[in-house]
Amino acid sequence: MEEQATDVDLLASESEVQEYWQKNRTFEVTENSTRPKFYCLAMFPYPSGQLHMGHVRNFTLGDVIARFQRLQGKNVLHPIGWDAFGLPAENAAIKRNIAPATWTRQNIDYMRGQMKRLGFSFDWSRELATCDPEYYRWEQWFFTRMFKKGLVYKKSAWVNWDPVDQTVLANEQVIDGRGWRSNALVERRQLEQWFVKITAYAEELLAGLDTLSGWPEKIKLMQRNWIGRSEGVEMTFPGIDGEGVTVYTTRPDTLMGATYVAVAPQHPIALDAARNDASLAQFIEECSHVKVAEADMAKLEKRGMPTGRMVRHPLSGESVPVWVANFVLMEYGSGAVMSVPGHDQRDWEFAKKYDLPIVQVVAPKAGSDERCDIAQEAYVSKEGVLVNSGEFDGLDFGAAFDAIATALSGKGLGERQVNYRLRDWGVSRQRYWGCPIPIIHCEKCGDVAVPDKDLPVVLPTDVEFEGVGSPLRNMPEWRNTTCPECGAPALRETDTFDTFMESSWYYARFESSHAESGMLDERSRYWGAVDHYVGGEEHAILHLLYARFFHKMMRDEGLVESDEPFVNLLSLGMVLKDGVKMSKSAGDAGDPQFLLDTHGADAVRMAMMFSAPPEQSFEWSEHGVESAARWLRRLWSTVEQHLEGPDPVGLDRSVLTDELRELRRLTHETLSKAEDDYGRRLTFNTVVSAVMSLMNQVHKTDASAPQARAVVREALEVVVLVLSPITPHVSHQLWQRLTGDALENAAWPPVDDSALARTSVEIVIQVNGKVRGRLEASPGASQEELEAQALALENVARFVDGKTVRKRIHVPDKLLNIVVS
């Protein structure tokens, strides 16, 4: 039936549809709808210059969900904005001598154009950029609330310091221990910085995960592990000739096997000991030339040195040496650990290396088949019982934990304690391109919050930025101010916020778009939590945890009502290019512009959706785009040819041929599958393939008879509608032609269950689990019936004859397995 495809100009057609959307403000939403609300949000992008295929995937997936929910009759909020502060703008400023603000605004303009070209159904009236004073003003306002509440404090923390550029470096700017521009050996330095007490919410952040049934288990598991709640004992090893050392352990049962104590290189006891020990001082100095990152610390060769100090074992009273170890983190716990080389592999290796004693205090229970040879490796199991532990011998893990904790408590040297791996959130950045921290330092009054009436503290944008030193520190006219409390001359804080601050609440601001009366307004009550949040799996921990934390702080401030910001989460795999993730640091690899210009937005969107299911990472290849465009042109010409025929007659189900019944069954199966894939499974690749299969069937159908035309018409309408979330431009045009109505008025049609009924099913016949034949049977055929027919099949008989049938497994309407011996 195929004629040659008419040459449809997909590109011209797309700009026509986009003009229509713009003119009709099709996707702008208000809060007074009677339809149920649905808030769909894809993680907003950093304006790095141009979109890459990772963005295309992210926003297409969000758009598909938004458009599907509209077809389901929801009032859909689908906003977009820009995570506009950040490091790359400063890098660009240095490299190209362009102000960060100018560079950022230019990038936003270009990327907005690309997004419009991709046909995303955003409500553009709600667009925001986090570098707008109108936006960050409320972040500053909120920070001062938290400051007054005591959720914000200052403490000293480590940074990577570039001694040549006189600047703090991000971890990614430190390459092999050297500054990326200066190539200077980076040092660790301590600076006074602002922290927000996320640990105060650790328990709630952990418990809240159990309520998030719409989140992938793997994300919740990662967050649980990140928070890292543990139950243990904090105890002190009293000093002999100086200070004692406090340690935290989750294995107090092994305490009698502690043969030394290891402290971080920056631990006070280490620094003190180094004063009279040049080689120790040298060792500590060497340890300071490691990047602040945990991964780098952990990959270090484990090294240590004795401090010469001794402490007393809290129970045995024996002298225990204190060592400095480069793998002990000052910022975790008390910066010291008790070392039990018999029952901790890392301690075991350290003890072997430095010839420290290894004592076994736990042994496998009698009759256990656990391996235990302290000479070869540490025995780390919690299944054993205590030995060599005096009065505690014979106790298992639980009993020993209790007994030793009680003994320590009795001596006043230790207490049970719940500990978290989670650390407080350091929000200070020694950067220019960020939101100014709204604090004023007064010599008399200390750190004072900027009063509401003086907000926002606007970041000056007319700066010379060279990447050396801090521009804000060098701007006395900005920095010098007066104390809001006493009126004396005072200085502004020159640090800016971590950009995770801005991305922790933007979802809420979209709801109360452009509110001038406050951070959020009553519109946030209508929209509530984000119903579906879409974004890359690389944000599984930091961004999503900070946003959950921020939401709870906003709730406790009376700004939002829900406990969690994101009801459902779709965590996307990476789009890889040559095996690595696409990101701003990967340059402009994967700019979709050329593909948009040659094949159009629908083809790019369809190819992207068809490539892989959302959670999966995959290597991007352009090959699918051309074939998607070809497929869409063919769909178009098929619809056109259909419309050239006579007007359709009404569908009469009672007179359909088997072939037409089959096509109708496939049509309604596709409809049913697509609804499930869009709404529940979120696998849009399988929607595309189901629709392709249906079209293959349409092409095989002889559509000359009136009833055939009616069945084909139904199939074409289903194809156009079902595909419309993915290919909105083509669907818009074809729906108009098929139905005479606008696509945005369309509703998802009901599945006709009667069309789904089958007249016969294929049964697979197995012998001993191997497929030996198939047969057609009526649905519901009995096992006896099927077995008789099966044994009549030559190939089945061949494997059964001369053997004894031992068992039959029957899966109704699917399979019969005959087990013989």
Partner RNA sequence: GCCGGGGUGGCGGAACUGGUAGACGCGCCGGAUUCAAAAUCCGGUGGUGGCAACACCGUGUCGGUUCGACUCCGACCCUCGGUACCA
21 vs 85 by CB, closer to RNA = 85
Phi, psi of 18 (to 5 degrees): -65, -35
Residue 682, token pair as written in the block: 């979120």
CB of 520 to RNA, least distance (A): 22
Rounded distance between C-alpha atoms, residue 350 and residue 372, angstroms: 19
| Closer of 311 and 800 to RNA (Cβ) | 800
Q: Measured from the CB atom, is 168 or 404 closer to RNA?
A: 168
| Minimum gap (Å) between residue 82 Cβ and RNA | 9
Closest CB to RNA among residues 15, 686: 686
Minimum distance, C-beta of residue 392 to RNA, in the bound complex (Å): 28
**Minimum distance, C-beta of residue 370 to RNA, in the bound complex (Å):** 13
Judged by beta carbon, residue 258 or residue 540, the one nearer RNA is: 540
State the nearest-atom distance from the C-beta of 21 to RNA, in Å: 28
Map tokens 């484990």 to a residue. Answer: 302
State in angstroms the smallest separation of the CB of 154 from RNA: 13
For RNA, the closer of residues 237 and 610 by Cβ is 610
Which two structure tokens, joined as six digits, stand for 799? 């494997």
Please tell me the distance from the alpha carbon of residue 55 to that of residue 130, in angstroms, as a whole number.
Answer: 18
CB of 199 to RNA, least distance (A): 9
d(CA 576, CA 737): 39
Choice between 246 and 685, CB closer to RNA: 685
- Structure-token pair, residue 109: 């303009």
User: CB under 8 Å, gap of 24 or more: what pairs does 724-727 form?
Assistant: 724/67, 724/71, 725/63, 725/64, 725/65, 725/66, 725/67, 725/68, 725/71, 725/678, 725/684, 726/60, 726/64, 726/602, 726/605, 726/606, 726/609, 726/684, 726/687, 726/688, 727/602, 727/605, 727/606, 727/632
145 contact partners, CB below 8 Å, separation of at least 6? 557
The nearest distance, CB 162 to RNA, in angstroms, is 11
Q: Which of 30, 32, 119 is nearest to 726 (CA)?
A: 119
Taking the CA atoms of 348, 354, 360 and 362 in sequence, report the sign of the dihedral they define: negative
Least distance from RNA to the Cβ atom of residue 704, Å:
16
3-state secondary structure of 105: helix
Which residue, 217 or 658, is less far from RNA as judged by CB? 217
Alpha-carbon distance of 732 to 747, in angstroms, equals 13
Q: Which is nearer to RNA, 13 or 571 (CB)?
A: 571
Alpha-carbon distance of 579 to 619, in angstroms, equals: 7
Residue 244 structure tokens = 């004692």
**Measured from the CB of residue 108, what is the shortest distance to RNA in angstroms?**
13
Amino acid found at 503: S
Pick between residue 126 and residue 584 the one whose CB is nearest to RNA.
584
Residue 708 CB partners (closer than 8 Å, separation 6+) = 657, 660, 701, 702
- Smallest separation, CB 539 to RNA (Å): 6
Question: In this complex, which beta carbon is closest to RNA, that of residue 25 or of residue 623?
Answer: 623
| Minimum distance from residue 216 beta carbon to RNA (Å) | 8
Q: State the Cα–Cα distance between residues 323 and 260, nearest whole angstrom.
A: 7
- In the complex, the smallest distance separating the C-beta of residue 635 from RNA, rounded to whole angstroms, is 10
Is the CB of 537 or the CB of 744 nearer to RNA?
537
**Nearest distance from residue 683's CB to RNA, in Å?**
6
Taking the C-alpha atoms of residue 544 and residue 566, their distance in angstroms, rounded to an integer, is 9
Task: For 534-559, give the secondary structure using H, E and C.
Answer: EEEHHHCCHHHHHHHHHHHHHHHCCC
When the beta carbons of 18 and 667 are compared against RNA, the nearer one is: 667
Nearer to RNA, 583 or 724 (CB): 583
- Collapsing DSSP to helix, strand or coil, 642 comes out as helix
Residues 6 or more apart whose CB falls under 8 angstroms from that of 335 comprise 263, 264, 266, 267, 328, 329
- Per-residue H/E/C for 172-212: HHEECCEECCCCCECEEEEEEEEEECHHHHHHHHHHHHHHC
**Tokens in use for 236?**
């002190």
Secondary structure of residue 266 in the 3-state scheme: coil
| Identity of the residue, 685 or 736, whose beta carbon is nearer to RNA in the bound complex | 685
Instruction: Say how many CA atoms lie within 13 Å of 359 toward its Cβ.
Output: 15
CB closer to RNA out of 148 and 699? 699
Residue 773 has φ and ψ, to the nearest 5°, of 180, 170
Round to whole Å and give the CA distance between 419 and 250. 9
Q: How many CA atoms lie within 13 A of 723 on its CB side?
A: 34
Name the minimum Å distance from CB 310 to RNA.
Answer: 29
Give me the least distance between CB of 34 and RNA, in Å please. 33
Phi, psi of 820 (to 5 degrees): -125, 165
- For residue 573, the minimal CB distance to RNA (Å) is 7
Query: Which is nearer to RNA, 473 or 581 (by Cβ)?
Result: 581
Within 275-313, where are the H helices?
278-287, 294-299
Q: How far is the CB of 363 from RNA (least distance, A)?
A: 21
3-state secondary structure of 273: helix
Beta carbon nearer to RNA, 155 or 623: 623
